[in-house]
Amino acid sequence: MLLTKIPILDELLHAHVGVLGRDFEGYRNHTYRVVNLCVAQSSSDPVQLEKMAIAAAFHDMGIWTDDTFDYLPPSVRLASAYLVGTGRAEWTAEISEMILEHHKISRYRGAPRSLVEPFRRSDWVDVTRGLVTFGLSRSLLREIFSMWPSAGFHKRLVELELTRLRTHPWSPLPMMRL
């Protein structure tokens, strides 16, 4: 069963609606897809779900808040400030790692019980539009992509990548990790 209403995710995204501008719907749909994919690979425990939602809300946010495609450090900064400001400072390390490692190409080999690896796989499934599945069923992927369509998100990523390539040809994808 898909999670169609995640209050903390909606709250965080709506707090940034102004900076997201025309990309709001696409980014919102991306975050909902990532959280649902992450739940499918881990747990729907309320605390874990809250961590996933916070990480999802902030994981790419630096693109818009700092106007950069080198967005991992600003995204971590935003998430950390939010966590400290809401009394969840003890989650900072795990959520920061989820954000920093979500573009890692190879498997994350850190804390085995953390959400870092399921979150990383979820973002890859979404960014590749299901080309990479990590064992998730095609029917689940169809359901998730149907519920939350791209709404221009994948096209926007390509635009941002091409702009970065023109302006930083020796560092076109600074967020990628081996």
What pTM was computed for the model?
0.94
Smallest CA-to-CA distance from 160 within 150, 172, 171 is with 172
- Considering the segment(s) 7-167 as one domain, its CATH architecture is Orthogonal Bundle (1.10)
Paired tokens of 93: 């390390």
What confidence score (pLDDT) does residue 169 get?
82
Per-residue pLDDT of the chain (178 residues), as tens digits, is 899 999 999 999 999 999 999 999 999 999 999 999 999 999 889 999 999 999 999 999 999 999 998 999 999 999 999 999 999 999 999 999 999 999 998 999 888 789 999 999 999 999 999 999 999 999 999 999 999 999 999 999 889 888 888 888 888 777 777 7
Please tell me the predicted confidence (pLDDT) of residue 174.
72
Contacts of 152 (CB under 8 A, 6+ apart): 22, 23, 25, 26
d(CA 161, CA 153): 12
User: Across 110-168, where does the E strand assignment appear?
Assistant: none
- Residue 101 pLDDT: 95
